[in-house]
Amino acid sequence: MDNNFLVIMAGGIGSRFWPMSTSETPKQFLDILGTGKTMIQQTVARIEDIIPKRNIFVVTSRYYKDIVQEQLPFLEDSQILLEPCMRNTAPCIAYASYKIQNRCPDANIIVAPSDHLITDESGFRKTVEKALDFTKYQNVLLTLGIDPHRPETGYGYIKSTNPKISTNEIDKVSEFKEKPDIHTAKRYLESGGYLWNSGIFVWSASSVIEAIEKSLPEVAKLFTRGKEVYDTPSEQEYIDRIYPQCQNISIDYGILEHADNIYVLSSKFGWSDLGTWGSLWEKRQRDNQGNSVVGSGVHLFECNNTIVTVPDERSVVLQGLNDFIVVEANGVIMVCKKEEEQRIKEFREKVLTPNQD
């Protein structure tokens, strides 16, 4: 257990959950589900029985250091890795992996986003324990694939070499697939062997660093040179200097799609990436008309399949809405059709930069 580490990726700005999520307080630091815990706090809580708190690292923007410390007060400064700029997930994971290996050469690492929903936390822990056992002594890169139960177009897919892969089975990955259209998603579901890409990874520090050196050698050189400064007062200055030089690339594109030792663990633990208001509506409790409401002063009349999130002190009357998103937060009221939620980024830009027509 002392060799098990958790890396939480928490640098995103959560623009698809605007206006509740802002660049100052993105969704990973919000209690999106109304549970009393923020998304990042839930990420830690579901895995702290497996990972010692001293082995938990959060990679985030330098602008979010204070909020991370406030929400996860057990973290030492050295456990909060501050990115001076956004460079996607490959440099983020590389930074954490090199630093962890410097501390513990035999480290076994879980990499997880900070803003995903997992409803079966016991099942998740069992899955992660099986994954850690698999990667502990093998030179492999393991990703958790989710058993699909619908033709989802909002997720990437992982194709297993075994079209009849069962839940909790580990198999070699054939290829990664981008988010499909509905017809392709239906074909994936019917043919079998396709899993949703959860974006949760498990591997040893040595395995992932070997993959980084092979596929992203320039990134590897930058972080290798930092070995003498990790966990010293000079670390942040070094990272601030070299991080902007890193290629802006995801771990999927930069490493996983090129490696030949990628495996997938077929999983089922109530996972959602909560990437949109629509996905949140699916996961929140709903009334008999399919409405999901957060806000004690909300009154609905002839509304169906609508998600409402407003402050408790606000009295709101809504009539005749079908499949809508209604949100009030940070001085903005947004009413949007669920089927048009991909335009929320457009709405956000228009509000934040009103003179740029």
What is the rounded average pLDDT of the residues 34-52?
93
* In the predicted structure, residue 94 carries a pLDDT above the cut 90: yes
* In the predicted structure, residue 18 carries a pLDDT above the cut 70: yes
Residues 6+ apart with CB under 8 A from 342: none
Joined tokens for residue 42: 């839930």
* In the predicted structure, residue 257 carries a pLDDT above the cut 70: yes
Residues 6+ apart with CB under 8 A from 228: none
Where is 334: in which H helix or E strand? Answer: strand 332-337
Q: What's the farthest any 2 CA atoms get from each other in the chain?
A: 65
> Quick one: which of 217, 243, 207 has its CA closest to 105?
207
What is the rounded average pLDDT of the residues 220-234?
96
pTM, entire model: 0.92
- Three-point CA angle 63, 68, 69, nearest 5°: 110
CB 265 within 8 A of CB 168: yes
Percent of the chain with pLDDT over 70: 99
What is the rounded average pLDDT of the residues 249-258?
93
Binned at pLDDT 50, 70 and 90, residue 32 comes out as confident
What is the rounded average pLDDT of the residues 31-56?
93
Cβ count near 295 (within 10 Å) = 19
Q: What is residue 356's predicted lDDT score, i.e. its pLDDT?
A: 57
Q: What is residue 15's predicted lDDT score, i.e. its pLDDT?
A: 85
User: ω into residue 52 within 30 of 0, thus cis?
Assistant: no
First to last CA, the chain: 55
Where is 133: in which H helix or E strand? Answer: helix 121-135
* In the predicted structure, residue 284 carries a pLDDT above the cut 90: no
* In the predicted structure, residue 300 carries a pLDDT above the cut 90: yes
Q: What is residue 98's predicted lDDT score, i.e. its pLDDT?
A: 98
Q: What is residue 330's predicted lDDT score, i.e. its pLDDT?
A: 93
Instruction: Read off the amino acid at residue 149.
Output: H
* CB-facing half-sphere around the CA of 185: CA atoms within 13 A: 15
Percent of the chain with pLDDT over 90: 85
What is the rounded average pLDDT of the residues 180-189?
93
What is the rounded average pLDDT of the residues 154-178?
93
What is the rounded average pLDDT of the residues 184-196?
94
CA 22, CA 14: separation in Å to the nearest integer?
7
CA 47, CA 132: separation in Å to the nearest integer?
13
Task: Give the 3-state secondary structure of residue 162.
Answer: coil
Residues 6+ apart with CB under 8 A from 21: 13, 14, 15, 27, 30
Residues 6+ apart with CB under 8 A from 284: 33, 34, 292, 294, 307
Burial profile 44-61: b = 16 or more Cβ within 10 angstroms, e = fewer: bebbeebbeeebbbbbbb
Q: What is residue 13's predicted lDDT score, i.e. its pLDDT?
A: 84
Task: Give the 3-state secondary structure of residue 177.
Answer: strand
* In the predicted structure, residue 140 carries a pLDDT above the cut 90: yes
Binned at pLDDT 50, 70 and 90, residue 357 comes out as low
- How distant is the alpha carbon of residue 143 from its chain centre? 13
Q: What is residue 283's predicted lDDT score, i.e. its pLDDT?
A: 84
**DSSP collapsed to 3 states, 64-109:** HHHHHHHHCCCCCHHHEEEECCCCCHHHHHHHHHHHHHHHCCCCEE
What is the rounded average pLDDT of the residues 176-205?
94
Q: What are phi and psi of 290, to 5 degrees?
A: 80, 15
CA distances in angstroms from 189 to 50, 147, 158, 169, 340, listed in the order given: 33, 10, 12, 18, 25
* In the predicted structure, residue 139 carries a pLDDT above the cut 60: yes
Q: Strand pairing of 170-177 and 157-160?
A: antiparallel
Where is 127: in which H helix or E strand? Answer: helix 121-135
Mean pLDDT over each residue of the chain, to the nearest integer = 94
Helices (H), 140-234: 182-191, 205-215, 217-224
